Amino acid sequence: MTTLRTAAQLCEHGLVPPERRHATEKVAARYAVALPAALAELIDSSDRDDPLARQFVPDVAELDHRPEELVDPIGDDTHSPVEGIVHRYPDRVLLKLTHVCAVYCRFCFRREMVGPGKPAGLSSAALAAALEYIRSQPQIWEVILTGGDPLILSPRRLRAVMKSLADIDHVKVIRIHTRMPVADPARVTGDLVRAIKVKAKPTYVAVHVNHPRELTAPARAACARLADAGIPLLSQTVLLAGVNDVPDVMRELMRALVECRIKPYYLHHGDLAPGTSHLRTDIATGQDLMRELRGRVSGLCQPTYVLDIPGGHGKSPIGPGYVARHGSDGAQVVVEDFNGVRHLYQAR
Ligand code: SF4
């Protein structure tokens, strides 16, 4: 499959008008570009505001860096005891195997770490040291493979990593975060699915999807291959201005995920990644969307709206609250229903 990687290729495919080619070259020189042809074909090039173009086609606004934006917005580096490991919470670690992705998202929170020109991934020695760290920390219950996109690795390499993790007694769960079913569904082959499914240790896959149009027939088939193999699927969605920040789109996306047997997991507030202010919303927008979801769609379709607190302080739920104390003794609370009507409840 051809992947578009340069401003010239984006122009040739009508995704960037000729007058924006020079500005696009400047953005591409700063941040990685990769757009698989099949994903590019989903973009309506006549619509300057196409939600898929906003996610994948470089925009000159990316050169607008704001003072509050951070090279490492969620503070991975401050919690990295050895190369490739982020140990932020006691019972789980991230294991970052690669800095390569099939598609480079314009809002990526690791955009300063991923793409060509950055170290491609862990060397054998660094991987051995990362696994040794996990072995040495008995409180680690879950290992989360992330990147880059771990599913860019060959089934052979993934199988070896999964086996090493599964052999560690105290590691009970392995989770993989990926955009591959959307970015390049053909890579989610039977061989790859077999490689990530290890005996005796459950593997969860969290699929990154931001717009219902990303769930094409091939993407749905890729998710079905994972689900049919008994791999539980979760979703991660980033709240993005002009992409999914209106109720109709968010509702359709959450329902489509559940129809694909993917349980909506996190709705991330946009991180303070450099050059992404044009894609961030305010928190009130996210809370209003969550209220809309709560009132209108099944409980299965409800993600948790979270903010990764800048500086490495972890995720906090920031969705709307439905319960408030009533009176000073804490005996009663006021609970709001999905229509916004408040009810008094005797709490004790
Ligand atoms: S696939 Fe994930 S890591 Fe890669 S560019 Fe997109 S958001 Fe970033």
Q: For 116-143, what is the HEC assignment?
A: CCCCCECCHHHHHHHHHHHHHCCCCCEE
Q: 3-state class of 9 per DSSP?
A: helix
Name the residues annotated as catalytic: 88-89, 92, 101, 105, 108, 110, 271, 308, 315
Regarding the beta carbon of 105 and ligand 1, being less than 6 Å apart is answered yes
Average pLDDT for the chain: 96
Quick: pLDDT tens for 167-211: 999 999 999 999 999 999 999 999 999 999 998 899 999 999 999
What predicted TM-score, i.e. pTM, was given to this entire model?
Answer: 0.96
Tokens of 193: 């699915």
| DSSP type of residue 272 | -
Residue 153 has pLDDT above 70, yes or no: yes
Confidence label for 48 from pLDDT (cuts 50, 70 and 90): confident
- What is d(CA 121, CA 218) in angstroms, rounded to the nearest whole number? 28
Distance 102 CA to ligand 1 centre (A): 8
Residue 104 CB–ligand 1 contact under 6 Å: yes
CB of 149 closer than 6 angstroms to any ligand 1 atom: yes
345 — pLDDT class (breaks 50, 70, 90) = very high
Q: Which atom of ligand 1 is nearest to the CA of 104?
A: 5
Residue nearest to atom 6 of ligand 1 (CA): 105
Confidence of residue 130 (pLDDT cuts 50, 70, 90): very high
Q: By C-alpha distance, which of 115, 124, 137, 116 is closest to 84?
A: 124
Among residues 76, 71, 95, 77, which one has the least CA distance to residue 85?
95
Q: Give alpha helix (H) positions in the chain.
A: 7-12, 21-30, 37-40, 51-56, 124-136, 155-166, 180-183, 190-196, 217-228, 247-259, 283-296
Quick check: 228 and 198 in contact, CB under 8 A? no
60 φ, ψ (degrees, to nearest 5): -60, -25
Model pLDDT, residue 151: 98
Determine how many CB atoms are found less than 10 A away from the CB of residue 44: 12
Asked whether 147 lines ligand 1 (CB < 6 A), one says: yes
In tens, the pLDDT along 105-117 reads: 999 999 999 998 7
Phi, psi of 323 (to 5 degrees): -135, 140
Within 13 Å of residue 75, how many CA atoms lie on the same side as its CB? 14
CB pairs under 8 A, 24+ apart, for 87-92? Answer: 87/133, 87/137, 87/140, 88/312, 88/314, 89/314, 90/139, 91/139, 91/140, 91/141, 91/142, 92/140, 92/141, 92/142, 92/143, 92/144
Q: What is the percent of the chain with per-residue pLDDT over 90, rounded to a whole number? A: 91
Distance 148 CA to ligand 1 centre (A): 6
306-335 pLDDT, tens digit per residue, is 999 998 999 999 999 999 999 888 889 999
Over pLDDT 70: what percentage of the chain?
A: 100
Nearest ligand 1 atom to alpha carbon 183: 1
94 lines ligand 1 (CB under 6 A): no
**φ and ψ of 265, to 5 deg:** -115, -70
State whether the beta carbon of 222 lies less than 6 angstroms from ligand 1: no
Query: Is residue 67 predicted with pLDDT exceeding 70?
Result: yes
What would the two tokens of residue 269 be?
């507030």
Q: How confident is the model at residue 147 (pLDDT cuts 50, 70, 90)?
A: confident
CA dist 50 and 63 (Å) reads 20
Q: Which candidate, 102, 59, 99, 76, places its Cα nearest to that of 241?
A: 59
Q: Give residues with Cβ within 8 angstroms of 215, minimum separation 6.
A: 182, 209, 223, 256, 257, 260
Name, in order, each residue with C-beta under 8 angstroms of 250's C-beta and a sequence gap of 6 or more: 244, 289, 292, 293
Structure tokens at 296: 């209108």
Q: Over 70: is that where the pLDDT of 1 sits?
A: no
**H/E segment holding residue 238:** strand 233-238
Spacing, Cα 181 to ligand 1 middle (Å): 13
CA of 301 to the centre of ligand 1 (A): 23
Which pLDDT belongs to residue 99? Answer: 94
Which ligand 1 atom sits nearest the alpha carbon of residue 147?
A: 3
Mutate to test the pocket of ligand 1, among 39, 106, 108 (most ligand atoms within 8 A of CB): 108
